[in-house]
Chain A
Amino acid sequence: MIQSFIKKGSFQDSVSLMLISKKLSNLDEVDEVSVMMGTPANKSLLTATGFWSDKFNDATPNDICVAIKTNNDSINVVDLISTQLEDALKNIAQQQQGGSKLLKARRYASATQKLPDANLVLISIAGEYAAELAEQAIDDNKNVMIFSDNVPVNDEIRLKTKASSKDLIVMGPDCGTAIIAGAPLAFANVIPKGNIGVIGASGTGIQEVISQIALLNQGITQAIGLGGRDLSQEVGGISALTALKMLAADEQSQVITFISKPPAESVREKVINAMKLINKPIVALFLGSTIDKVQDENIYFAKTLDQAARLACLLAKVEVAARALPKVTKQTISGLYTGGTLASEAAMLLAQELHLSINEDHDKGIMLDENGHKIIDLGDDFYTVGRPHPMIDPSIREQEISKLGAQKTVGVVLLDLVIGYGANPNPAESIIAGYKAACAQRSSDNPLIAIATVTGSQQDPQCRSQQITALTENNIVVMDNLPEAVLLAKKLITPTKSTGSLKSYPLLNHISVINAGLRSFAEDLQSSNVSVVHYQWAPIAGGNQKLAAILKKLN
């Protein structure tokens, strides 16, 4: 039985209506539904296909004719189909959704045409094909990150050697993680921008260190992956050395963190020697290898991932502070402490950094006195005869600070400020007075830098932050702890090694990616506002060797 109705004055194109016919015909309540505009041709088609209803005599080419074949008389089919038709027409109108399109290409050449400034190819195709594509990219002067594994080691060596000769880097094979110029490459995290550059032969190692860095409220510049085999004897750390050069030249990367599993001994030596040539502090973590030294020149060795992160953050804060201060190269450091243990730790740390020896007998509170560097505990009995402890009455330290004004060889004064119950109600006031008096005797080409640490909490009567504000408002630098304060002091008096002009790597400033393989990597890049083209890679000629060989000759 045919039931029918006309929807007047609603023009739709025939394709939309064919789609709707198809959809409505799928409803259980009907056998088949025909939806057509009432043109003469359609009317004859409705007749020919057995959908004719005399109601359609009145239909104009601007009316929709709906014919329903059904034997179902338990419900009002016309109402049902009419409602469904309205919904379907509405859907058509709404179907045009927006959203930015992912740029796609099916050939390497068209990928490069669509993204002419592409400078990195991210490869996650089957390992057996990865090397060929990587080589094409390197020949085309592009950097490469190979996520794929199962790439033969000889291919890796060949690719890395070629890339290195063109000042390009190959990250990987089997490189899971990198963040370059803010772009997440494969497995990556959203980490705040900072001044720590990370290099890693371990993907999850990089991810853990950078997330610890974020937890410590610091950030990174780049995270360069190497792939697990880079530091092996065969490969010889080719990409590790390139990565170090890249970060050495990268101004934003003020501290470098290097993470790997234990490398081959000869490679480790090569890497450490390269690190020593870089005029930046470097945290090195060779996971699992036994390290006797804590520090070797500018290299700080860590034993665990979190320790590497903490060290890096400490150094990062010192670098930031140092860059805001004038250098006092070749001057000495003087420490005037009211806390004995603080003086003792400061002396120990400074002795370690400057390779000095500590005064074991602590005569007159002198904890260290060598090469002009001096750290004194003003709470020593020698100073407190007949007067209150300087934590209560800081006037003795105020005088000592002001005296430094005349001691022109002293470039940095290290100070503590102890608050809490029992302590002076406003110790900052005394430090400021002493420092002002000292500075009055100095000129701008012979400044005295004061670096303080504050012991005590926000809830103490003097209030930690108020004391800090008072100090910083008077140009006294406040660091969070003694290692930071001591490292900063050392940094200020140490002349910068000249490294000559370094070759810069444009990749670190701007990245534009051709993604071959996993589409989700391209989508992640796009959602991070990185320019990317997704290269829907497939083997040439579907993997037919014979045809591929012909193409090679004919191309």
Chain B
Amino acid sequence: MNRAINEANQAIIERIRAARPHWIGVVAAKEAVPTLAQGYKLLHAGPPISWQDMTGPMQGACIGACLFENWASDEKPALDLLANGKVEFIPCHSVNAVGPMGGITSANMPMLVVENITHGNRAYCNLNEGIGKVMRFGAYGEEVLHRHHWMKESLGPALNDALKLFENGIDLTALMAQAITMGDEFHQRNIAASALLLRTLSPKLALLDRNKTEMAKIFDFLSVTDQFFLNLAMAYCKSVMDSAAQIQEGTIVTVMTRNGKDFGIKVSGLGDEWFTAPVNTPQGLFFTGYSQNEANPDIGDSAITETFGIGGAAMVAAPGVTRFVGAGGADVAYEVSEEMSEIYLDHNMLLQIPSWNFQGCCLGLDVRRVVETGITPLINTGIAHKQAGVGQIGAGTVRAPLACFEKALEALAKKLKV
């Protein structure tokens, strides 16, 4: 029994190691996910959820998407549409996609296309809108919609055209290997990766035959959007974990995500089945004027980074964000990564961490180890205001709930008849 499990897990680890995701394009969501082309459909973060159960940020983003798609002219008719069950909700994860925070993605929003050229599968994620009043945190005002239209009409196509000028898109593994040595853990901090990305894109962007003012706007946006790479990191991890999930045996977790109500995981040996438990609320540091009371419960598909083994598990790599875990700073960050390495089966030498004595990132989150030790994955996360429309109010960490891992373990036992 254990031999079959270990062999399956080893095969998964090999697939994760072999994966080489490249960023190859930016397309409309309905092209990436054809089902979005017809009817009122929205992708959302986390395991399946109904409109009634969504928390503020996700509901706010739904309203924003309805307005963006011109399904409604105003907030009120949008709410009617949503509350009356006219809109179908699909988890991003069910269509090879991921979305940060609310994860709300509609047919005409631009999406990043990442192709794992080793295994041939693709993963998608919407584009990072920057910080402050942004749709992923539930904001949907004029300014938000304006930015989304600009991203759809200008930023997305420009990036897509620039990417076409590369032979095979952009090799994200190579870029991330550099960025991790520059202090990114790819969840709370992506500033180095975003800067490296802009450096790589610039010569091709400069070749595009477009209005100079428009290009300046694109460069300006990319130069100040520190988390731009996060969405790429998410698509990267999604493409890797989707290819790993094809093994369909073993005990390695292939999805971790949250919808503001439930935390959901998928496990290689259990196929597409969701195992869920109520989410925790992140603890962290808040922008002045906001406090823990206003924090929305844990939300977003971005925990795909921790599923792959970066983010919280790579805390030791990112001195810039270490103090989100407490007053101890670097020492605590080290402890976190050491603790996390207890629940992952291996290390990923493609992403070596200098401040961890060049140990590779964690690799292969094992449901068995989580249940055995009671150590739950630590997730680095942004904190949304629980009311729709306010946006991000801080950043911190949150633990995955143990119960979903316990449920998965019991299901494994049942499936394997032990």
Contacts and interface: CB of A to CB of B under 8 A. Distances in A.
Contact of A15 (B290, B323, B331, B402): B323
Interface string B1-39: 110010000000000000000000000000000000000
Interface hub of B2, B288, B368 (most chain A Cβ within 10 A): B288
A550 B410 contact: yes
Contacts of A45: 132, 287
Interface residues of B, number: 43
A18 B372 contact: no
B289 A15 contact: no
A18 B287 contact: yes
B339 A106 contact: yes
Contact of B368 (A15, A41, A96, A554): A554
Interface in A1-33: 13, 15-16, 18-19, 21-22, 25, 32-33
A542 B374 contact: yes
Interface string B364-402: 000011011111000000000000000000100000001
Interface in A100-125: 101, 104-107, 110
A101 B316 CA distance: 14
B240 interface: no
Contact of A107 (B285, B289, B373, B410): B373
Nearest to B406: A547
B288 A107 contact: no
Given A49-B287, A547-B409, A13 B320 contact: yes
A51 B288 contact: yes
B51 interface: no
Given A110-B341, A541-B374, A49 B289 contact: yes
Nearest to B373: A106
B36 to A, nearest CB: 32
Contacts of A104: 335, 338
Contacts of A41: 131-132, 224
B278 interface: no
Contacts of B108: none
B251 interface: yes
A101 B416 contact: no
A50 B289 CA distance: 8
A540 interface: yes
Contacts of A50: 289
B69 interface: no
B1 A554 contact: yes
Nearest to B130: A41
B250 to A, nearest CB: 10
22 contacts: A15-B324, A18-B286, A18-B287, A19-B285, A19-B323, A21-B288, A25-B288, A32-B288, A41-B224, A44-B132, A49-B288, A49-B289, A50-B289, A101-B334, A106-B373, A540-B372, A542-B374, A550-B409, A554-B251, A554-B409, A554-B412, A554-B418
Interface of A: 13, 15-16, 18-19, 21-22, 25, 32-36, 41, 44-45, 48-51, 67, 95-96, 101, 104-107, 110, 538, 540-542, 544, 547, 550-551, 553-555
Given A107-B342, A538-B373, 18 more contacts: A15-B320, A15-B321, A22-B285, A34-B289, A36-B288, A44-B132, A48-B289, A96-B330, A104-B338, A106-B373, A540-B372, A541-B374, A544-B406, A547-B371, A551-B371, A553-B1, A554-B368, A555-B368
